[in-house]
Amino acid sequence: MPSTASQLRRLGVAEVSDDAAVLGAYSSDASLYRVPPAAVAFPRTPDDVRRALLAARELGLPLTTRGAGTSVAGNAIGSGLVLDLSRHLDRVISVDPGTATAVVQPGVVQADLQRAAAPYGLRFGPDPSTSSRCTIGGMIGNDACGARSLAHGRTSHNVLGLRALLADGSELLTGYDAEGRPTATLSPAAPAGTDGSGGADVLERLRALVATDLATLRTSFDTFGRHVSGLALHHLLPENGFDLTRALVGSEGTLAVVTEATLRLVRDPAERLLVVLGFDDFPAAGYAAPAVLEHAPSACEGLDRRIVDVIVERKGAHAVPPLPAGQAWLFTEISGEDAAEVRDRAERLAAAGLGVSALVVDDPAAAAALWRIRADGAGLAGRAPSGRPAWAGWEDSAVPPARLGDYLAALEELLAVHGLTAMPFGHFGEGCLHVRFDFAFDAPDGPERYRAFIGAAADLVASFGGSLSGEHGDGRARSEWLPRMYPTAALRLMAEVKRILDPDDLLNPGLLADPAGVASSTADLRYTADTRTPPPRHGLALAYTGDGGDFSRAVHRCTGVGACRAPVATTPSGGAVSAGGGVMCPSFQATHDEIHSTRGRARLLQEIVNADSDLEWSSPAVHEALDLCLACKGCASDCPTGTDLASYKAEVLHQTYRRRLRPRSHYALGWLPRWARLASRVPGAANRVLGWAPTRTLALRAAGVDTRRRMPAFAPRPFRRTFTGAAGAVGAAGGAGTTPRTPVLLFVDSFSERFAPQVAEATVAVLRDAGYEPHLTARPECCGLSWISTGQLDGARRRLRSLVEAMAPDARAGVPIVGLEPSCTAVLRHELVELVPGEDARAVAAAAVTLAELLTGTEGWTPPDLSGLDVVAQPHCHHHAVLGWSTDAALLRGAGARVRALSGCCGMAGNFGVEQGHYEVSVAIAGQHLLPALAQPPAPGAQRVVLADGFSCRTQLDELAPDARPVHLAQLLARDLTT
């Protein structure tokens, strides 16, 4: 029988796939649910959407539209054909500053629309925390809001017209006439060969339905500002002009497929001030919200101490600016056009005595950092205070703001009854609460306990006159519980609207008030007691710190919030991004393919541990998804949930190939330190062999290396042959009559030893100038990084055991271990304790420092004067993710340098960039940030210096930008020293 994809292609769907990797990546969104589709299509034009819709109709396939897949309610997954509108239908068609409007395709990322509107001083009002990746189509589907909905309203208040397709292929155009009256026209009948209804008939049937029960429409819908659950049928009332535009917003793709939208844009206020109010507990903040509203804020957000503690734990105390006293806070924004008036209102709010403390935040950087905590709330809340994973499901209930405090107190009591913990936050100005709970889905009765809680929670919110959803929609998570908040008559009206617009139940069936029956909230759960790590061939190699050594729990850290899909941010002139930008996920940024995102790969790995999936460690689909993972570890720090794909990839490769024949690059590149040690005995001969084109080509092909790459030359003499100092000495050193220097152990990695000894020599000079005396281990030690990246974890463990044995005496004696290569130093701080657990390993990890960390903590040391230098810095990905580059940035700026730290990866990433099949992606990644930054001129009168501590980063630069001449931090600091 022909595959689903081939049948769809026969019917005119050009770009479609039913590959196992694609289906696995699209099997979930940011919700609890897993529903593998039959196929995924990537339409390029509205006509492609229509062809896909009609093809699905002919084949009897349900159709689900999807943007960024950040739905927490399960409304972006389906068992039939999924249309990914984010891949190609992502164009801002026009921005009209005169009318303050924009016309966009549904796959436009909200942040991209903001960038397009910014030159005119305009923006789209709704600003959800996922704005860096959520699409306008998804915002329309859910009626998304965001922190500033007090000022700008929901998405439904900001959509001025829609172009959409009904299930029969008819095109619906909605909008407003010159007097602001709603309009709607439907194309005549669907094309020949379909059984579509006439446009006028459909619209008249809708009008007739509305007329049958005006009382229910007037009393059961739109009862307060965040009444989002169900369909927004009140917009069809006669007094609202039969407004189909707003009625379709929030329908979660169940009534029509949007192909274009006209949006209202707004102007940002000239002045903003953040007022932070502290409270004794979370409900107390809720009780205060109505009083805060009297000060006309543009935002009023509630935050709990539990989320702040997670930030401090994961990123350090420096990541949270000073907060006023309290265990919960209201982040309240006061805005306007007049600075004095805004200041006066802010100070009056702070002085109103609404909590136990108050702070007006004057520093814009501090305010931005505080808002970032709130924006990352969905990901940070992925871990409950209990330490267990926290799940969506009761994610965004809402009540009238006047009842919020009572609701929060009652909800806390309900949690205690059910033995649950959470880290809540929310839009308190509109009574909306975001929260995830540590449901024990992996317990045998987990789904039943979840169901009992959700039912009780639905009854609770209904008792307060609230809504099951305040902005994320109902989806699979909450549609079942709509009868708890709506009377039977309202449910009947919603079901009839669905029947009129989609009589064959083609569009996203099972959601909202579906006449064919809604999906159970406990069906198709992604993580249950049947979700188990498959029997490892030889035992799991990594400890998965924080996940109890459980691979299944580790890969389910990914909750699907989609931060890995955030578009590359660039400066207006082209590419450099300030420090603080992210690294993940460079391959997705190059391919825009979901399976190359951190989330897409995590979904494939979740398929391995799903009892209903045929995928296993060695499945080609799994390896296809992991092939373009650079193991940059950016996700380990940039993903709000700490999803560490580099570690998971290493485990998969380990399980797949242990004691089996491996790809040849694993032997050539994975064992590179071993071959380099042999070749460095005769460096001249090795360089001649690799420098002569015929032998070079043969050698590279045999090693699985792309022949467009140039292998770095071996140094004439390895570092150890030139180093003058004690080997393996623990103690002070110094010449006669001099003050003894403080000992440090210099960790000279294989790359610095054999390819770049000048880096180690510069480091020695800097250390001695700072009052240290470096010494080496008795013999060269390797961190096993190349073994780790190729999944040869047993080999890595052997090398790390030897390293620990050699370094532990220094570490236990309090001697710092200074690393030269960021990736190797990061191994000591991260993988070491997972692969070689024990006190000695922990001591070595604690002693490992970067050069910048050591120097900035050295009393009396001052850096050389770097004034006049324009430093373009490419932080190594592992440096960013594991070690943190902020210390290096502070050191350089303190020395007088102008520093532009680039976001993103250089594209080489160790062995990744040189392997066959990776060259184009590697170069494309370099083109995202690194190469554009180098194309910009240095600051006027300044000298350009390119800083790249990572050997792989310098190698990439030497090939793609040979004039850059990158240097290591040690070389920059040692420029005026005699070595």
> What one-character DSSP code corresponds to residue 924?
H
pLDDT digits (tens, 9 = 90+) for 792-846: 999 999 999 999 999 999 999 999 999 999 999 999 999 999 999 999 999 999 9
Crossing angle between the packed helical segments 598-608 and 645-657, to the nearest 10 degrees? 40
Which residues contact residue 900 at a Cβ distance below 8 angstroms, ignoring those fewer than 6 apart? 576, 578, 870, 871, 872, 873, 933
Structural tokens at position 616:
């296993």
Taking the C-alpha atoms of residue 557 and residue 507, their distance in angstroms, rounded to an integer, is: 30
Using the structure block, give the residue that is written with the tokens 């220097």.
Answer: 741
Taking the C-alpha atoms of residue 148 and residue 746, their distance in angstroms, rounded to an integer, is: 52
Judged by phi (left if over 0) then psi (alpha if -120 to 50, else beta), residue 389 lies in: beta
Which portions of the chain are predicted below pLDDT 70?
Answer: 188-200, 376-382, 532-538, 567-581, 726-739, 978-979
Of 417, 295, 403, nearest to 354 by C-alpha is 295
Lateral strand order in the sheet of 182-186: 92-96, 101-104, 257-264, 159-165, 171-176, 182-186
Which residues contact residue 915 at a Cβ distance below 8 angstroms, ignoring those fewer than 6 apart? 665, 669, 704, 705, 706
* Environment class of 575 (CB within 10 Å of its CB; exposed 0-12, middle 13-18, buried 19+): buried
Taking the C-alpha atoms of residue 583 and residue 878, their distance in angstroms, rounded to an integer, is: 10
* Environment class of 841 (CB within 10 Å of its CB; exposed 0-12, middle 13-18, buried 19+): buried
Secondary structure in 3-state letters for 258-269? EEEEEEECEECC
Residue 892 to residues 681, 862, 882, 945, Cα–Cα distance (Å): 37, 11, 20, 12
> What one-character DSSP code corresponds to residue 569?
P
pLDDT of residue 377: 62
Taking the C-alpha atoms of residue 319 and residue 931, their distance in angstroms, rounded to an integer, is: 30
Query: Over the range 113-122, which residues count as b (16 or more CB within 10 Å of their CB) and which as e?
Result: bbbbbeeeeb
Structural tokens at position 235:
């917009």
pLDDT of residue 545: 73
Structural tokens at position 279:
């409270």
Query: Over the range 517-527, which residues count as b (16 or more CB within 10 Å of their CB) and which as e?
Result: ebbebbebbbb
Tell me the β-bridge partners of 119.
Answer: none
Taking the C-alpha atoms of residue 474 and residue 487, their distance in angstroms, rounded to an integer, is: 17
Query: With contact defined as beta carbons under 8 Å apart, do 301 and 331 qualify?
Result: yes
> What one-character DSSP code corresponds to residue 507?
B
Taking the C-alpha atoms of residue 271 and residue 940, their distance in angstroms, rounded to an integer, is: 32
Distance of CA 430 to the CA centre of its chain: 27
Taking the C-alpha atoms of residue 357 and residue 926, their distance in angstroms, rounded to an integer, is: 48
Taking the C-alpha atoms of residue 852 and residue 972, their distance in angstroms, rounded to an integer, is: 12
pLDDT of residue 603: 93
Query: With contact defined as beta carbons under 8 Å apart, do 882 and 824 qualify?
Result: no
635: preceding bond cis by omega (within 30 degrees): no
Judged by phi (left if over 0) then psi (alpha if -120 to 50, else beta), residue 972 lies in: alpha
Taking the C-alpha atoms of residue 769 and residue 855, their distance in angstroms, rounded to an integer, is: 11
Taking the C-alpha atoms of residue 543 and residue 917, their distance in angstroms, rounded to an integer, is: 31
- pTM for the structure as a whole: 0.90
Taking the C-alpha atoms of residue 902 and residue 113, their distance in angstroms, rounded to an integer, is: 23
